């Protein structure tokens, strides 16, 4: 069984792999594309999302494609289905840092710490705080109550926030995908931690912004496509909502001339949430080792993706 893996992961995974595998370690995109052509198993995402898609497409015989990424947006999922390739993603490997970033976004918005930093740069000592909101006794809607969403909820609860999660199935303790829009006016914070699918694209648009409290903030650590950005710019410009903390936008990188940069009360973190950690690659390697043993032994894989649904 031919297995293609990143050379960077070798010290972390090689001592723990099952015996009898035909191992190949790549150090460049060209090597990955060449090696994966006749491979059975591939972890080939170490050259960026666009190059990952090229390497994955080259794996015509792949039985299993493993990735450190949570979202599969760059991949041709129809092609993978047609080839019978199973896919596991990296959901959870950076969940803690993304959840921390999301809560940080709410705290920055509540206290307007972005303005505090700018005031400090002037060396002026203010007598009024630019942000006076408290998280305590506010309410939050977390759309996408999976691994990251639940961690966001746990952390918000510690601040005294009342949390309502949204899941695709309306699992116990959450509400379903058809119920949250009618309740938008109840919430002070709207967190987006959902995947980008055909059903979720632009789920937050003009109608949703009009339904929110004028004092509400939206925090997006999901995908930029979840928000109609033109409607967001209009909403903050017309003060329909208080503002937005955006870790993700579309396109990425956001062009310098894009109006989101200058729209009022938009705070950007440039998709740094998942990168603000030191253990993601270690966790990904541990997940791969767990899954390759499961694959060889015929057991269920952790984080196997439904390619039809896209997550």
Query: Which pLDDT band holds residue 295 (cuts at 50, 70, 90)?
Result: very high
| Domain presence at residue 186 | yes
pLDDT one-digit tens code per residue, 194-203: 988 888 999 9
**Same structural domain for residues 145 and 196?**
yes
**Same structural domain for residues 263 and 130?**
yes
pLDDT one-digit tens code per residue, 52-110: 999 999 999 999 999 998 888 889 999 999 999 999 999 889 999 999 999 999 999 99
The model carries a pTM of 0.89
* Cβ neighbours around 179 below 10 Å, total: 12
**Same structural domain for residues 169 and 269?**
yes
**Same structural domain for residues 260 and 287?**
no
- Whether the per-residue pLDDT at 47 is higher than 80: the answer is no
- Average of per-residue pLDDT across 231-249: 98
Query: Which pLDDT band holds residue 48 (cuts at 50, 70, 90)?
Result: confident
**Same structural domain for residues 56 and 121?**
no
- Residue 247 sits in a domain of what CATH number? 3.40.50.720
Query: Contact at 8 Å (CB) between 29 and 37?
Result: no
**Same structural domain for residues 71 and 125?**
no
**Same structural domain for residues 282 and 263?**
no
Query: Which pLDDT band holds residue 32 (cuts at 50, 70, 90)?
Result: very high
| Domain presence at residue 250 | yes
pLDDT at residue 85 in the model: 98
pLDDT at residue 72 in the model: 87
pLDDT one-digit tens code per residue, 107-146: 999 999 999 999 999 999 999 999 999 999 999 999 999 9
Q: Can you give the residue range of the structural domain that contains 287?
A: 2-91+278-297
């Amino acid at each position: 069984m031919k297995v293609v893996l990143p050379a960077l992961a070798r010290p972390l995974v090689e001592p723990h792999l099952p015996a009898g595998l035909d191992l190949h370690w790549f150090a460049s995109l060209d090597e990955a594309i060449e090696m994966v052509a006749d491979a059975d198993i591939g972890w080939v995402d170490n050259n960026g999302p666009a190059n990952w898609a090229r390497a994955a497409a080259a794996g015509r015989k792949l039985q299993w494609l493993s990735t450190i990424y949570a979202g599969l947006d760059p991949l041709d999922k129809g092609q993978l289905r047609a080839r019978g390739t199973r896919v596991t993603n990296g959901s959870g490997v950076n969940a803690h840092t993304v959840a921390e970033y999301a809560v940080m976004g709410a705290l920055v918005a509540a206290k307007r710490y972005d303005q505090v930093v700018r005031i400090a740069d002037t060396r002026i000592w203010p007598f009024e705080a630019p942000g006076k909101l408290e998280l305590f006794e506010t309410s939050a809607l977390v759309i996408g109550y999976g691994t990251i969403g639940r961690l966001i909820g746990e952390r918000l609860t510690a601040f005294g926030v009342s949390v309502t999660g949204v899941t695709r199935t309306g699992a116990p303790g959450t509400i379903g995908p058809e119920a949250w829009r009618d309740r938008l006016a109840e919430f002070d914070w709207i967190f987006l931690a959902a995947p980008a699918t055909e059903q979720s694209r632009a789920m937050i648009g003009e109608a949703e912004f009009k339904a929110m409290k004028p004092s509400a903030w939206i925090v997006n650590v999901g995908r930029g496509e979840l928000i109609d950005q033109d409607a967001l710019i209009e909403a903050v410009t017309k003060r329909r909502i208080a503002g937005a903390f955006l870790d993700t936008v579309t396109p990425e990188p956001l062009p310098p001339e894009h109006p989101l940069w200058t729209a009022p009360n938009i705070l950007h973190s440039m998709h740094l949430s998942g990168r603000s950690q030191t253990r993601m690659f270690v966790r990904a390697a541990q997940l791969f080792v767990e899954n390759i043993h499961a694959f060889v032994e015929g057991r269920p894989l952790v984080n196997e993706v439904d390619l039809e649904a896209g997550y």
